[in-house]
A and B are shown apart, each in its own frame.
Chain A
């Protein structure tokens, strides 16, 4: 298992463009977060009910797409070239292969996510007060939870994407599937006029539930509690990995 992880790590490390993609994930997260804060102004003294943590972490919405690409390419690139046969000949225990990939994907996306999240908070902070928004204090437990949770969120999105790409065996289709799964729930929920249905959709959607972790205000009004929401996403990721693992083990390579 250690050898398998070592091999996957070498593979990822020497995969061209991977460093750029991770950099892009960080940049996309920070840039969109900064833009969202810069575009939001409030003239009321009360801060307009803006959740400064959530607003400052808006970039995760785009960053997750790049993180998903990273994860999809870790397995999809092999299916595309037929190299997965070499991998499976070298490590015949296929569960190990997927586990090793999951380990290295987490190992690269989590630091990138941490950079993106930290960068977002730093980039957003100076603009909050001039725009009339509530300020952000780093030593606030809620803010720490939102920040750490967003890092976990991005890592879980990577695992979800890895599982789906392993199951789908085609990079482009897997990317479409993952991003569709993430983005469709909130769009569908928005167009459902029935409030009960709307909340149910927001509760089960991997993105809508997972991003509840970013909320630091009006927690009672959320469709799902922050950690519970992240738990829903974790279930999605686990399910995707199990499905991917089952398909990888059962099917001829």
Chain B
């Protein structure tokens, strides 16, 4: 087998056109990634307009802007309140221009303890949401579900601090209490800001589930007003819009004490991880790798020709005479093409991912930072994706034996479904296609993280794939294995 791979490698590297083609594949990935084509607005409106997102205690970029009615409390405490009702307004629907009555699914109103009022500081909160019942959340990314509930039925909430431990409880009547969750906020100082909060996030919705052609979405900011009563601590409240100017009192953030421990709080914004896409801002690392498709086409053409060129001039007979193990010949070809493609893809992706982000940021585009592990997965994933696609292409080349049909077959199976999914089919059908088609492997390049507690359009157009990265690769690998298996079978049965 080693000798076979060696001979196939020699065959590959001695055809100048193929080597150049592979280099070109790498360069187009680089080119599309590094050419400054995107323009963003960050930094474009003066030195203070840089898009800088606050970073949470666990390192993610976060959204931390909401209405906080708070006071400093030192030591252990317990604070109880009843959320009497939540009302609000939503952005206009398609074709309308007036805000609508309504509460966004992830509108939040409840009790919050936070390590100061600077954005990104640690926190824990128990809350009633617009559409997801009672939740206990902390430090932006963690979310625990309580009971289901409605914005129209009052709900009691209690937040208790015991040193670093924060416990959230809920109750329907104020007497029988259920614990939603207990979390530990390590490093929380003895004096923390505690109080009521209201957040109402960006809202986004696909224009219509079955809209065809170019997909469109609509959305915008939302505002919510929560009526709190039976607040267990009546004195000393002050309001602040986190992430906003001090003491600003407007429609996006205000509060009013109506006596008897009743407070009306109006707020907008969110306290959650930041996401890209229609409901978020900026873009992910994935966008730097758009050239992968162009590179992929070069690679699959070369991989298909690597096999079909032998059929064209009868070289295959020489090859099979030199190594009669036909399945092994195919395996060696696939291995060589996959290895070369992996190297090309990985090197190109490594450069693009490191330098491409800088280019985008330089152009004023907000690029969501990704963890080192994610960057590594994207880089190696691009290589793997190209490697497996090259193997698939070798298989189709051996199966079809004609360069033209083999190349067309690879492109039609790998590239076309992706195109249909992102640009032609309705999102539901596109979603399905990206679960079963070889293009599922592009999930390896996903850099943005899907958070169930943030409303967003998690669709391929915005850089979110329906399958997790490795499952996506498995789909492509399954296709490649099936095609190579069939090709090996036919190669053994057919006359050369």
Task: Report A-B touching, CB under 8 Å.
Answer: yes
Interchain CB contact under 8 A, B416 and A62: yes
Residue in B301, B407, B418 whose Cβ sees the most chain A Cβ within 10 Å: B407
Chain B interface mostly: helix
B415 within 8 A of A: yes
Chain A residues in 8 Å Cβ range of B283 = 193
Tell me the bound Cα distance from A184 to B210 in angstroms: 24
Q: Which interface class (under 10, 10 to 19, 20 to 34, 35 or more) fits B?
A: 35 or more
Q: Which interface class (under 10, 10 to 19, 20 to 34, 35 or more) fits A?
A: 35 or more
B423 within 8 A of A: yes
Interchain CB contact under 8 A, A40 and B290: no
Interface locus among A72-80, A83-91, A236-244: A72-80
Interchain CB contact under 8 A, B425 and A39: yes
A186 within 8 A of B: yes
Contact bitstring B167-186, A, C-beta under 8 A = 1, else 0? 00000000000000000000
Chain A residues in 8 Å Cβ range of B297 = 176, 179-180, 184
Tell me the bound Cα distance from A66 to B210 in angstroms: 28
Interchain CB contact under 8 A, B211 and A50: yes
Within the complex, the shortest CB–CB distance from A223 to chain B, in Å, comes to 9
Interchain CB contact under 8 A, A187 and B423: yes
Within the complex, the shortest CB–CB distance from A205 to chain B, in Å, comes to 11
Partner of B312, one of A36, A80, A173, A184: A80
Interface locus among A51-59, A93-101, A111-119, A147-155: A51-59
Given contacts A48-B211, A194-B38, contact A180 B403 (CB under 8 A): no
Interchain CB contact under 8 A, A187 and B290: yes
Contact bitstring A170-195, B, C-beta under 8 A = 1, else 0? 11111111011001101111111110
Within the complex, the shortest CB–CB distance from B481 to chain A, in Å, comes to 23
Interface contacts (Cβ under 8 Å), in number, total 137
Interchain CB contact under 8 A, B212 and A175: no
Interchain CB contact under 8 A, A191 and B290: yes
Within the complex, the shortest CB–CB distance from B343 to chain A, in Å, comes to 20
B40's nearest neighbour on chain A, judged by CB, is: A193
Contact bitstring B399-435, A, C-beta under 8 A = 1, else 0? 0001111111001100110111011111001000000
Interchain CB contact under 8 A, A176 and B419: no
Partner of A44, one of B208, B294, B312, B425: B208
A142 within 8 A of B: no
Within the complex, the shortest CB–CB distance from B194 to chain A, in Å, comes to 40
Chain A interface mostly: helix
Interchain CB contact under 8 A, A175 and B425: no
Partner of B422, one of A42, A58, A176, A187: A187
Given contacts A51-B212, A65-B411, contact A176 B207 (CB under 8 A): no
Tell me the bound Cα distance from A65 to B418 in angstroms: 15
Chain B residues in 8 Å Cβ range of A73 = 404
B375 within 8 A of A: no
Chain B residues in 8 Å Cβ range of A190 = 422-423, 461
B479 within 8 A of A: no
Within the complex, the shortest CB–CB distance from B206 to chain A, in Å, comes to 11
Chain B residues in 8 Å Cβ range of A179 = 297, 407-408, 411-412, 415
18 CB-based A-B contacts, threshold 8 Å: A36-B425, A40-B212, A42-B210, A48-B209, A48-B212, A50-B211, A54-B212, A55-B212, A61-B420, A65-B411, A80-B312, A170-B305, A172-B301, A172-B304, A172-B403, A180-B411, A193-B365, A197-B38
